[in-house]
Amino acid sequence: MKTEHIAMDVNDVVGLFTASIPKSIETKNTSHGDNDFREALLVDLGNEKIVIKLSSNGFTDEKHLVLWERIAKEYRDIGYYCPQYIRALNGTYPTILYKERSCIVWGEEFSKYRSAEELINDKFSDTKLVKDGWYSFLEDAMIMDAIVASRHFDYTDLPSAYCMFEVFDPADECDETTEDARKWLAIAKTLPEKYSDRVGQIWNNWLEARRELEKIYHELPASVFQADINETNVLLDENGNFKGVYDFNIGGREVYINYIFRQAPYVSTAETYDRLEEDDTFLKRVLHALDIVKKVYSFSVAEKKAAPLLYKCIRPLWWHASAELKEAGTDDAKIQKHLDAIEYEQTREIDFSRHMQNE
């Protein structure tokens, strides 16, 4: 149903989903810039609460909402808690005019559990839910994804935001891994002429790894994932035990080994992203993730072959590389150190297969 020609306020929006008069409506804006508008309405109906979400961006549409609804259902069928999606009273996900934007609208069941982030702030501020250097819920969350991976779901052609060799948002020119590498190259090309040969070699190394990966990538095992495991989306009981996830808005079909490599460095603990550059932290987190998931997932020969190529595509020129090179400015020592580190990551030998063997 499209009602874009009718401007609506929050009460009109709520009326699309319930005939009850709400006791209160709390509004929360979670937009990511002018081209990615997001707003959530927490609606207290007295006997229950629901969340109504509005979005205006390039990737939230009816096809994606139907997909995310399905992903949540599949996760529940496996045994994990996910709030149910709620359609409007007429059975659709309507598009409306809201705050001078064309927004698609959907509802969600108010979660029975709280997010890890909320519990950390409220009950676990002393431990941050970190045990032995890792989030206490990390293993359970990654086991959940491994179980989903083992199902090899193929009910959609829509990729997750982690995708390679295709785009998640139609407005994107390329996948995020390629975009990161191009950003680095653009800055590297501004370096003095004496660095041009090294920059050219680094770029050729990256292109070669990407070409080799592409030859096998589309044959690698995939499934359909929520694709956003982090402390804001992981749901725990009041004792900190893992129960499930919510927030499916970057979910979709994904090559599982790529999903591990792209996600694991960021979700293992609450440390800042800059810490990933220290003491091989990025790699350690990937290997730790592989050690976890192999308990319930058997990696194929193709996945073991792809792992080193994925690392060479993702790690050396990831987003931090362009930030670091820009910060180096004209400092020759910093530039040399930066280029040395990239070439090291591109050429080092890492025995991923050892961490992918079932015991």
At 250-285, the pLDDT tens digits run 999 999 999 999 999 988 987 776 677 888 999 999
Q: What is the pLDDT of residue 270?
A: 75
| pLDDT score of 4 more than 70 | no
96 and 141 part of one domain: no
Residue 122: pLDDT band with limits 50, 70, 90: very high
Mean pLDDT for the stretch of residues 224-228: 96
In angstroms, rounded to a whole number, what is the distance separating the alpha carbons of residues 257 and 288? 13
Range of the domain at 344: 116-355
**β-sheet bridge partners, residue 245:** 234
Last residue in a domain, options 56, 81, 111:
111
Residue given tokens 């990025």 in the structure block: 282
Q: For the chain, how are helix, strand and coil distributed in percent, rounded to 5?
A: 45, 20, 40
28 and 125 part of one domain: no
Residue given tokens 């990407």 in the structure block: 210
Last residue in a domain, options 57, 76, 111:
111
Structure tokens at 36: 């990615």
Residue 72: pLDDT band with limits 50, 70, 90: very high
178 and 216 part of one domain: yes
Last residue in a domain, options 95, 111, 127:
111
Nearest to 50, CA basis, from 10, 91, 94, 14: 14
Provide the mean pLDDT of the chain: 94
Mean pLDDT for the stretch of residues 166-170: 94
Long-range contacts of 268-277 (CB under 8 A, 24+ apart): 268/134, 268/135, 268/138, 269/128, 269/130, 269/133, 269/134, 269/135, 269/138, 270/120, 270/128, 270/130, 270/135, 270/231, 273/320, 274/320, 276/320, 277/320, 277/324
Q: What is the pLDDT of residue 318?
A: 93
Q: What is the pLDDT of residue 2?
A: 53
59 and 154 part of one domain: no
| pLDDT score of 246 more than 70 | yes
Structure tokens at 235: 């749901």
Q: What is the pLDDT of residue 32?
A: 87
216 and 235 part of one domain: yes
215 and 326 part of one domain: yes
Residue 33: pLDDT band with limits 50, 70, 90: confident
76 and 127 part of one domain: no
DSSP letters of 259-307?
HHHHHHHHHSSS--GGGGGSTTHHHHHHHHHHHHHTTT----HHHHHHH
In angstroms, rounded to a whole number, what is the distance separating the alpha carbons of residues 269 and 276? 11
What is this structure's pTM? 0.93
16 in Cβ contact with 94 (< 8 Å): yes
Residue 315: pLDDT band with limits 50, 70, 90: very high
CATH number for 95 = 3.30.200.20
| pLDDT score of 3 more than 70 | no
In angstroms, rounded to a whole number, what is the distance separating the alpha carbons of residues 276 and 187? 21
Mean pLDDT for the stretch of residues 314-339: 96
Residue given tokens 């996948």 in the structure block: 175
Provide the number of structural domains found in the chain.
2
123 and 268 part of one domain: yes
Mean pLDDT for the stretch of residues 134-139: 95
64 and 156 part of one domain: no
Residue 34: pLDDT band with limits 50, 70, 90: confident
55 and 10 part of one domain: yes
21 and 107 part of one domain: yes
64 and 173 part of one domain: no
CATH number for 343 = 3.90.1200
| pLDDT score of 303 more than 70 | yes
